Amino acid sequence: MAKRLEIGALVGAAPSKNVVRKTPIPGDKVILLGGRTGRDGLGGATGSSKAHNSQSLTTCGAEVQKGNAPEERKVQRLFRNEEVTKLIKRCNDFGAGGVSVAIGELADGLVINLDKVPKKYEGLDGTELAISESQERMAVVVAKEDVDKMIAYAEKENLEATVVADVVEEERVKMYWRGKLIVDLSREFLNTNGDVKNAKVEVTKPEEEKSYFKKEKVEDIKTKWEETISSLNCCSQKGLVERFDSSIGAGSVLMPFGGKYQLTPSQGMVARIPTLKGYTNSGTIMTYGYNPYLASLSPFHGAVYAIIESVSKYVAIGGDYKKAYLTLQEYFEKLREEPTRWGKPFVALLGAYYVQKQLKIAAIGGKDSMSGSYNELDVPPTLVSFCIGETDTTKVVSNEFKKQNSKVMFLETKMGQDDILDFDNLKENYEIIHKLIKDEKVLSVSTITHGGIADVITKSCIGNKIGFEIKNSDIDLFYPYYGSFIIELKDNVEVKELKHIRKYNKRRKNYSK
């Protein structure tokens, strides 16, 4: 309808012995390696961070970078060589701001020669060379005596590598084009981040009668069930998902769809860490969480449950929440100078911070944009949480039902005050799930999200085409039981074993006190 959002997530890993962090010194050289520079991506960062209108389609084409996958693969291969990474003191990829940021951030004192920057074609002026966001380029700082080695390694991968800047004593960033000095800024000024800005924030209280967590009596369960699983956020997205190849590298542990018939959508992505020395059981789990309807009613609750959803999916797959990290992606309407608009990202970040404090999980990095407006339309308040951590891939559990006649249990997390979960109960349930998975006592685990139990059970059944009979008629099948789980137990496991785990956790808590 308007300014759409697509979020992709990528997991990288490197042996710690290959990661070098050094401070550049005068005499060091900055090498630009990879793709050439063109006009594509001029103003890309500002383009993604401004509101758009009907004219944008015809005037903003140059703001979009052109990808070059073969060149990118060469860069990846180069950086997997430990002899290469150990030469690098500092490194930046060319994203927002191009040369001016990617190189400008590497050291306190820099002299950059824009004439040395390799170009896709002639005709670029100094400004274009300085701010182009053309992709598949890296800036690396190496010692003067290591320049030839670095260039030789790059040439082995058929990559261009060119010295484009010098690290100098004077703490200024200078850029030369055609022999003229066109930029001369002091590092002291750059470090101030510009003028201090202030904004008025007005937080509006969510309307109680519009609470997302009200239970409703459903008269026609069949019709409601069909409506739930037919909604765009619950229905199958297999057609879209299969545009991407999840088998590349043969490291996928959970395919996007599980079961014999590959119909149950996985609740997260799990892959072995690819190593040059062969097979490993070390892998990563990444999950996400976000509910646009809840976020529209209350940005605070939207952020709270985005994190809870991502962490609960992570736990359901087999992750230990105490070893997880988050990264948050925020996207809000153009804020203008309206205090009520500023209030939305303000309370969303408060909500995210509140959950992080409760679960003791840190967020590393993130991305924000306050530009989600197109003509008169605004995006809903958006804070998407990604949860990531390392795992033993032999302990990973998928979410499709594995066999007939299994016992299936509903583990509920209690709701506390103000539509916020009881975090003590949530953490206790996380411990229960993690212990059951670690002890190999479960066949499948799913966490419940916006579609409720009806959504989870439908998806768990279709992967292996197994039916389901509900014995407890008191459970609300359509309520969003965030932080709660549907667990398929192994034959020899009794439900009472969960009570033993709960008692064990309470004893351990008292002992630690």
Give the model confidence (pLDDT) of 432-482 as tens digits: 999 999 999 999 999 999 999 999 999 999 999 999 998 877 789 999 999
List Cβ neighbours of 361 (8 Å cut-off, separation of 6 or more): 307, 311, 321, 324, 325, 326, 355, 387
Residue 292 has pLDDT above 90, yes or no: yes
My answer on whether 228 and 169 are in the same domain is: no
pLDDT, average across residues 157-184:
97
My answer on whether 164 and 252 are in the same domain is: no
Question: Band of the pLDDT at 502, cuts 50, 70, 90?
Answer: low
Residue 10 lies in a domain: no
pLDDT per residue as tens digits for the range 311-361: 999 999 999 999 999 999 999 999 999 999 999 999 999 999 999 999 999
Beta bridge partners of 180: 177
My answer on whether 228 and 184 are in the same domain is: no
My answer on whether 335 and 257 are in the same domain is: yes
pLDDT, average across residues 69-78:
93
Mean pLDDT of the residues in the chain: 91
Residue 20 has pLDDT above 70, yes or no: yes
Residue 333 lies in a domain: yes
Amino acid letter for position 10: L
pLDDT per residue as tens digits for the range 37-62: 999 888 887 777 788 888 887 888 77
Residue closest to 233 by CA, chosen among 294, 285, 286, 287:
294
My answer on whether 153 and 269 are in the same domain is: no
pLDDT at 511: 36
My answer on whether 224 and 182 are in the same domain is: no
| Residue position matching structure tokens 């005037």 | 59
Residue 2 lies in a domain: no
pLDDT per residue as tens digits for the range 376-429: 899 999 999 999 999 999 999 999 999 999 999 999 999 999 999 999 999 999
- Quote the number of domains for the chain: 2
Percent with pLDDT over 70 in the chain: 96
For 73-78, the CB contacts below 8 A with 24+ separation are 74/34, 74/157, 74/158, 74/159, 75/33, 75/34, 75/136, 75/138, 75/157, 75/159, 77/157, 78/33, 78/153, 78/154, 78/157, 78/159
My answer on whether 228 and 180 are in the same domain is: no
Question: Band of the pLDDT at 275, cuts 50, 70, 90?
Answer: confident
Q: What is the pTM of this model?
A: 0.91
My answer on whether 137 and 242 are in the same domain is: no
pLDDT at 512: 32
pLDDT per residue as tens digits for the range 182-234: 999 999 999 998 888 899 999 998 887 788 998 888 889 999 999 999 998 89
Residue 327 lies in a domain: yes
My answer on whether 230 and 169 are in the same domain is: no
pLDDT at 510: 40
Last residue of a domain, one of 150, 166, 191: 191
My answer on whether 362 and 481 are in the same domain is: yes
pLDDT at 210: 84
What Cα–Cα distance (Å) separates residue 70 from each residue in 76, 120, 158, 292? 10, 16, 11, 36
Alpha-carbon distance of 26 to 363, in angstroms, equals 34
Residue 412 lies in a domain: yes
Question: Band of the pLDDT at 259, cuts 50, 70, 90?
Answer: very high
Residue 290 or 216, more confident: 290
Q: Looking at residue 302, what DSSP letter applies?
A: H
Using DSSP, how many helices (H) and how many strands (E) does the chain show? 16, 20
Tokens of 67: 């990808």
Residue 389 or 1, more confident: 389
What number of residues does the chain have?
Answer: 513
Residue 5 lies in a domain: no
pLDDT at 147: 97
Last residue of a domain, one of 191, 218, 248: 191
pLDDT at 49: 77
pLDDT per residue as tens digits for the range 91-140: 999 888 899 999 999 999 999 999 999 999 999 999 999 999 998 999 99
Last residue of a domain, one of 123, 158, 191: 191
Parent domain of 121: 16-191
Residue 203 lies in a domain: no
Q: Where residue 59 sits, what CATH number does that domain have? A: 3.90.650.10
Q: Where residue 216 sits, what CATH number does that domain have? A: 3.30.1330.10
Residue 501 has pLDDT above 80, yes or no: no
Alpha-carbon distance of 471 to 491, in angstroms, equals 18
Alpha-carbon distance of 319 to 55, in angstroms, equals 47
My answer on whether 166 and 222 are in the same domain is: no
My answer on whether 420 and 487 are in the same domain is: yes
Residue 6 lies in a domain: no
